[in-house]
Chains A and B, each alone.
Chain A
Amino acid sequence: MQQIINFIIRFKNFLLLLLLFCISLALTILSHSYHTSKFINSANIVTGGLYESFHHIHKYVDLNTQNDMLAEENRKLRLKLLNPVVFSDSTYIDTASYADNYRIYNANIIKNSYSLTNNILTLNKGAVDGIKQDLGVISSNGLVGIIDKSGKHYSRVLSILNTSTRISAQLKKTNHFGTLIWKGGSPEYIKLIDIPKIAPVQPGDTIITSGRSSIFPKGVPIGVVNDFELDQSENYFEVNIKLFNDMTNLEHVYIIENLHSKEINNLTNGTSDE
C-alpha cells in the first residue's frame, strides 16, 4: 500500500497528464461522431452568447457586402415575380412550387468556420424558433449545411465543408447522381463522388441537390464542375466542384423544413427493413 502511494506521489504529474489527455481524447472522439457531442459545442449559452454579442460588432464591418447580396437576391426574386418565364431556367430554388411541402425560416450565422477539417457553424435560431435536427440550411447562393443539433436559442450546423457530411447531388442536365464529400483543404472546392462513368460530365456543368434525401428539395444549386477524373475502380467519376457559395463570407441563411420528411423516412426505412 505504501509503495502504491509512493508511486502515485512520484508520478503524479505523469498520471495527471494521462488522465487529462484521455479526457481530451474522449471528447475529441465524441466530437467526431456528431450527434453525440453534447458537452463541447459552441451552441451553448456562454459561447453562443459571446459569439452573438461579438457578431453585433463584426456585422457592421461586413454590412455593405451583405446588403449587396441581399439586394441581389431581392432583385432575382422580384424578377421571378414579374416574369414567370425566367424562373424555369434560373438556378435559384422556386420556393413557390414547394409552398405546401416546405417551410422556410431565416437565420443569421453568428459563427462561421471553414479552416478546420470538420467545420461547424452556429446559427442564432434554436428550438424555440422551431429549428430541429436534420433540417437543411441554404443561403441565397446555394447549399450551406445541415442542422446537427439545436439548443434553446442557438443551433449548430454541420457545414458542407465537413469530412463527415454526405449530401446527395446530381447533374442539372441529366439525372445522374452521386454523393458530395469534402476532404479538407480549400473552402472553395468540394468533391462529388460515385457519378457513373456513363454520365456526360463536362467542365462548367451545374450541380444541384438531387432531392433523394428528405432534407433538401431537388434543385438547390451547389456549384459548377471544375474538373473530373475516374476514381480508382475506374467505374465512377470523381468530380471537383467549385461552389457557388463563398463559404468564407456567409451571413444570412435560410433553414428549410420538409413537412413530409417523417412520412418519407418512415416509408424508406420500412422498405429497407424488409
Chain B
Amino acid sequence: MNSILSIHTVRFIVLILLQGLILNHINFLGYINPYIYILFIALYPIKNNRIALILLSFFLGLAIDFFQDTGGAHAGASVLIAYARPIFLKFAFGAMFEHQIIKFNTVEFGSKLTYFTLLTVTHHFVLFTLEIFSFSRIILILEKTLYSSIFTIILSIILTIIFSKKIK
C-alpha cells in the first residue's frame, strides 16, 4: 500500500512538472499541445474512494492553470473527468469493472484505447470550451479538441507501454 501511495505521489509531481515545463511548450503546428497530466486521473486506483480522486484532480488541474495562466480551465475539466471516470470505466471494460478486477497493465489494448479516448476527448472538450469561452467559436474548440486529443492519446498509450513494467 505504501509503495502504491508513493508511486502516485511521484507521478502527481512528475506529471505536473513535465506538463508545465515541457509539454505546454511543444506547440506542434502552432497551437497543438498534448495534455498528458490526465494520465494521473486515468491510472488512479479503481478501489480508492472517489472524493479523494476528485479533490486531487482539482489540485492537479489548478497546478497546470498556474503554469498556463488559464484561470480554472484545467481544474474544471479535470474535476469533471474525475467524477465521470466510473462511467467511462463501465463503458470501456464492462464486466471487469463490475467485479473490480481491472489492472491497467493486463487489460487488452482495445478497451484501454477506448477508455483513454473517452477520457481525453471529454477532458479536452471541456478544457477548450472553458479556455476559449465563447460558443461562437465552436469550430475552433472542436478543431483544437480533435487535434490535441489525437496527440494526447498517442502519447499516453506510448507512456503507459514504456512504464508498464515498473508500475505494478
The yes or no answer to B45 lying at the interface (CB within 8 A) is no
Count of interface residues, chain A, beta-carbon cutoff 8 Å: 43
A187–B65 touching, CB < 8 Å:
no
B81 nearest CB across to chain A (Å): 10
Give Cα A47–Cα B21 distance, bound, in whole angstroms.
10
A17–B54 touching, CB < 8 Å:
yes
Residues of B within 8 A of A117 (CB): 131-132, 137, 140
Residues of A within 8 A of B67 (CB): 42, 47, 51
Nearest CB in chain A to that of B69: its residue: A120
- Tell which of B31, B33, B54 touches A20, judged by Cβ atoms closer than 8 Å: B54
B71–A37 touching, CB < 8 Å:
yes
Given the interface contacts A114-B30, A116-B131, does A42 sit within 8 Å of B66 by beta carbon?
yes
Residues of A within 8 A of B21 (CB): 50-51, 54
- Tell which of B61, B132, B133 touches A24, judged by Cβ atoms closer than 8 Å: B61
A185–B72 touching, CB < 8 Å:
no
The yes or no answer to B9 lying at the interface (CB within 8 A) is no
**Interface residue SS majority, chain B:** helix
Give Cα A1–Cα B76 distance, bound, in whole angstroms.
31
Give Cα A120–Cα B71 distance, bound, in whole angstroms.
12
The winner among A12, A51, A112, A118 for most chain B CB atoms within 10 A is: A118
Give Cα A14–Cα B82 distance, bound, in whole angstroms.
11
Q: Which residues of chain A in 51-102 are interfacial with respect to chain B, using CB atoms and an 8 Å cutoff?
A: 51, 54
B137–A25 touching, CB < 8 Å:
no
Nearest CB in chain A to that of B71: its residue: A31
Residues of A within 8 A of B82 (CB): 17
Nearest CB in chain A to that of B83: its residue: A17
- Tell which of B50, B76, B79 touches A28, judged by Cβ atoms closer than 8 Å: B76
Give Cα A106–Cα B142 distance, bound, in whole angstroms.
39
- Tell which of B33, B55, B62, B132 touches A40, judged by Cβ atoms closer than 8 Å: B62
Give Cα A20–Cα B137 distance, bound, in whole angstroms.
26
Give Cα A240–Cα B104 distance, bound, in whole angstroms.
49
Give Cα A142–Cα B72 distance, bound, in whole angstroms.
32
The yes or no answer to B106 lying at the interface (CB within 8 A) is no
Give Cα A54–Cα B16 distance, bound, in whole angstroms.
14
B75–A113 touching, CB < 8 Å:
no
B75–A27 touching, CB < 8 Å:
yes
- Tell which of B30, B61, B66, B83 touches A47, judged by Cβ atoms closer than 8 Å: B66
Given the interface contacts A50-B20, A114-B30, A116-B70, does A21 sit within 8 Å of B80 by beta carbon?
yes
B30–A24 touching, CB < 8 Å:
no
A20–B75 touching, CB < 8 Å:
yes
Nearest CB in chain A to that of B50: its residue: A13
- Tell which of B25, B51, B61, B140 touches A13, judged by Cβ atoms closer than 8 Å: B51
Residues of B within 8 A of A8 (CB): none
A24–B75 touching, CB < 8 Å:
yes
The yes or no answer to A264 lying at the interface (CB within 8 A) is no
Query: Which residues of chain A have a CB within 8 Å of any CB of chain B?
Result: 12-14, 16-17, 20-21, 23-32, 37, 40-42, 44, 46-47, 50-51, 54, 112-118, 120, 156, 183-188, 248
Query: Which residues of chain B have a CB within 8 Å of any CB of chain A?
Result: 20-21, 24-25, 27, 30-33, 50-51, 54-55, 58, 61-62, 65-73, 75-76, 79-80, 82-83, 130-133, 137, 140
Give the 9 A-B CB pairs with smallest separation, nearest first. A31-B71, A27-B72, A24-B72, A24-B76, A115-B31, A28-B71, A24-B75, A120-B69, A17-B83
